[in-house]
Chains A and B, each alone.
Chain A
Amino acid sequence: MTTPSPSAAAFDPAPILAGDRRAVARLLTQVENGSPLAEAALAALFPHTGRAHLIGVTGAPGTGKSSLVNELAKTYRRQNRTVAVVAVDPTSPFTGGAILGDRIRMRDLAGDAGVFIRSMASRGALGGLARATADVVKVLDAAGFDKLIIETVGAGQSEVDIAQTAHTTLVVEAPGLGDEVQGIKAGILEIADVLVLNKADQPGAEGAQRALRASQEIGRAAGPHPTAGRAAWLPPILPTVAVQGQGVAELAEAIDRHRAYLRETGLDRERERARLTAELEGRLREALLAHLLARLDSGQFRQTVDKLMRRAVDPAGAVAQLLDAARPA
């Protein structure tokens, strides 16, 4: 089914650009639900995006991500910068529902007109974010927030979508989560621009910090990181005790240093280009699939799956057949 995009003219972006909180909140619901209005709105708002500093916060469940976001937001408010938080929690694969509980740890931010918090369910996406998170971020960016903090679902070793979405990615660790070998595995540690060792007042914190540093050194010894070049950025390791606000000012400084580094090296433009390329490819893939399926006779796709079941054709051969069948006569 191909429906033409409604024109951007049907949507008035003024309330969003002015930061009208109710208008922003209502549009975010539309964006989350993928409504036609959202499509028009995103088209109208896109020229106004690209200004906010997007900060990703990821890490295993229970490392204190929400408490850290709470303290980081307070630090930014003391610097007179406005903050939006997008907090993603997992959707139950069994019921389709979700409990979004990140606001519990962010109650200090209540009553501040310079802060906007929005909870999102992951809705089956597996990368640590929801499919609509990138678009939700665009709306908040256009609404003029200076700092946009994106908190992922409690992530393990492969929820690395956040690095694609954010400018600066924080990976939050806590003592007792694993040994050195965890550190040389691929995955979440690799995406860190800043490593945070939260709960640094707890037993094992020193050992954990040593292990993180050791894994970085092993990485350097093994050769340059694939994204390296120019003046290399070595992710700093910052100990924090989020519930007491300890180490958070230093963390905010490190995040600002990273943003300055991205700008000075031109990496920000490069990353933006890679991000937009990936987004375009993803959307094209979806649109082309829908376009192709619309050209096939009803049942043709299902019949091809039946053939695969009988081993009458192999998957690559089936693709060739379907592409042939969809070719305009």
Chain B
Amino acid sequence: MDQRKIRVLVAKPGLDGHDRGAKVIARALRDAGMDVIYTGLRQTPEMIAEAALQEDVDVIGLSILSGAHLALAPRILELLRANGQGDVPVLIGGIIPDDDVPPLKALGIADAFGPGTSTETVVAAVQAAARRKWQADPPGAG
């Protein structure tokens, strides 16, 4: 019996102290039936990669409001690859200007969402990302 649930890490890297948005997203993902590992504020890229490894997450959602997304994203992706988790899709939400989305995707970020994105859109994106990962790495694989 496959009881696989989507395990998603919601993390807030950077130094700004506002996590209301991240909490709303965490709650929406929970309400969509996922196991949401919520790590709170001021996470370093190292902490995020370590949590992703120990929790064996299917998807990572980053909330970044500080404008540092172009600096933080490559570091986090690099650490994930170093841990053998380069296949874990990373989504970013927060204050992301439209112009920054193509460079983020070029870095390997699966998707990026600016202000005003509905929770439904984010939930659907996380579900789609998890499904793609599972197809490449089916349950039961060591």
Contacts and interface: CB of A to CB of B under 8 A. Distances in A.
Contact of B38 (A23, A92, A104): A104
A109 B91 CA distance: 25
B140 A35 contact: yes
A242 to B, nearest CB: 17
Given A21-B53, A29-B56, A111-B47, A95 B32 contact: yes
A98 interface: yes
B36 interface: yes
B27 interface: yes
A34 interface: yes
A95 B31 contact: yes
A30 interface: yes
A99 B26 contact: yes
Interface size class of A (residues with CB under 8 A): 35 or more
B140 A34 contact: no
Contact of A37 (B5, B55, B142): B142
A256 B128 CA distance: 48
Given A22-B83, A29-B7, A118-B55, A100 B38 contact: yes
A98 B47 contact: no
Nearest to B58: A29
Interface string A30-72: 1011111100000000000000000000000000000000000
A110 B32 contact: no
A63 to B, nearest CB: 19
B17 interface: no
Given A29-B56, A107-B47, A34 B1 contact: yes
Contacts of A98: 30, 34-36
Nearest to B39: A103
A219 interface: no
Contacts of A117: 51, 54
A103 B31 CA distance: 20
B97 interface: no
Given A99-B26, A100-B38, A110-B50, A36 B56 contact: no
Contacts of B55: 25, 118-119
A111 B140 contact: no
A99 B38 contact: yes
B56 A28 contact: yes
A12 B55 CA distance: 21
Interface string A89-100: 001100111111
A116 interface: yes
A204 interface: no
A110 B47 contact: yes
Contacts of B3: 32-34, 123
Contact of A95 (B1, B33, B37, B44): B33
A119 B51 CA distance: 10
Given A30-B139, A103-B38, 8 more contacts: A22-B53, A25-B54, A35-B140, A95-B30, A100-B37, A103-B39, A104-B40, A118-B55
24 contacts: A22-B53, A22-B85, A25-B53, A25-B54, A25-B55, A26-B56, A30-B139, A33-B2, A35-B140, A37-B140, A37-B141, A92-B31, A95-B31, A96-B33, A97-B32, A99-B38, A100-B37, A101-B38, A101-B40, A103-B37, A107-B40, A110-B50, A111-B50, A121-B5
